């Protein structure tokens, strides 16, 4: 009982310490589109943005706070092309520019930067410089297109649980109606607005859910009006 109480208190501290919140809401588990809104101190800061999410829809991911799900609800796994449901930290910005004026940690996505999606690697779900011995599977962060020209690192599966999904980002869309492999995408000009607004000192988080989880979110964030 004491342990459960302490966990509840820690979760509440994390929840209410977040001054900047990005909220992505999809219609249902099969949705490939969603609506994104940004809040600071419970106030909306931009107009709503229509975004693309996973080609496989949504599945419950591994975030900082666990949301309730029944055994019948889908979970997020490696390669399933589902966007993760949950509450996640927003950890860093990445992009093709060598340097960027930002209030977030910045990763220069050059030809040496990769994100590891090999579940058997010790570097699973980490963004690293290419090691001497390359993992069996990884994603190049410097692509031949603009999708990673600017992006945000989502803190999904930080404990690197094998097979539960990796390399989750908010990034530039391939095209207006193109679903992703599990990330959230939008137009470059929209992501620029969000990146310029984000501030690590304000503990930014991503809440990504379907409409069926909004009751849970409203209990955690009673002052947040979607």
Q: Looking at the domain assignment, is residue 80 inside a domain?
A: yes
Neighbours of 205 (CB within 10 A): 25
Neighbours of 137 (CB within 10 A): 16
Pairwise pLDDT comparison (169 vs 69), residue with the higher score: 169
List, in sequence order, every residue forming a beta bridge with 184; answer none if it has no partner: 170
Q: Looking at the domain assignment, is residue 178 inside a domain?
A: yes
CA neighbours within 13 Å on the CB side: how many for 205?
21
Q: Looking at the domain assignment, is residue 170 inside a domain?
A: yes
Could you read off the pLDDT of 197-207 as tens digits, one per residue? 999 999 999 99
In which domain, by residue range, is 54 found? 2-211
CA 213, CA 67: separation in Å to the nearest integer? Answer: 8
165: left (phi over 0), alpha (psi -120 to 50) or beta: left
User: What is the total count of domains within the chain?
Assistant: 1
Q: Looking at the domain assignment, is residue 223 inside a domain?
A: no
**pLDDT for res 17:** 64
pTM, whole model, 2 decimals?
0.92
Helix (H) or strand (E) segment spanning residue 28: none
Q: Are 99 and 106 in contact (CB under 8 A)?
A: yes
């Amino acid at each position: 009982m004491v342990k459960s109480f302490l966990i509840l208190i820690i979760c509440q501290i994390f929840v209410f310490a977040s001054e900047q919140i990005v909220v992505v809401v999809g219609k249902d588990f099969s949705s490939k589109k969603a609506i994104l809104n940004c809040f600071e101190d419970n106030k909306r800061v931009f107009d709503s943005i229509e975004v693309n999410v996973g080609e496989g829809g949504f599945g419950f991911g591994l975030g900082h706070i666990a949301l309730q799900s029944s055994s019948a609800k889908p979970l997020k796994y490696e390669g399933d092309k589902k966007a993760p449901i949950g509450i996640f930290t927003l950890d860093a910005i990445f992009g093709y520019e060598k340097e960027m004026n930002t209030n977030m940690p910045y990763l220069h996505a050059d030809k040496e930067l990769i994100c590891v999606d090999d579940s058997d690697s010790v570097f699973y779900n980490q963004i690293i410089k290419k090691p001497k011995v390359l993992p069996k599977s990884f994603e190049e962060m410097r692509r031949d297109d603009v999708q990673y020209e600017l992006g945000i690192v989502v803190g999904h599966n930080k404990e690197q649980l094998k097979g539960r999904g990796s390399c989750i980002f908010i990034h530039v869309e391939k095209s207006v109606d193109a679903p992703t492999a599990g990330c959230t995408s939008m137009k470059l000009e929209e992501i620029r607005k969000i990146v310029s607004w984000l501030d690590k000192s304000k503990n930014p988080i991503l809440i990504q859910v379907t409409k069926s989880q909004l009751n849970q979110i409203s209990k955690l964030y009673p002052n947040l009006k979607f």
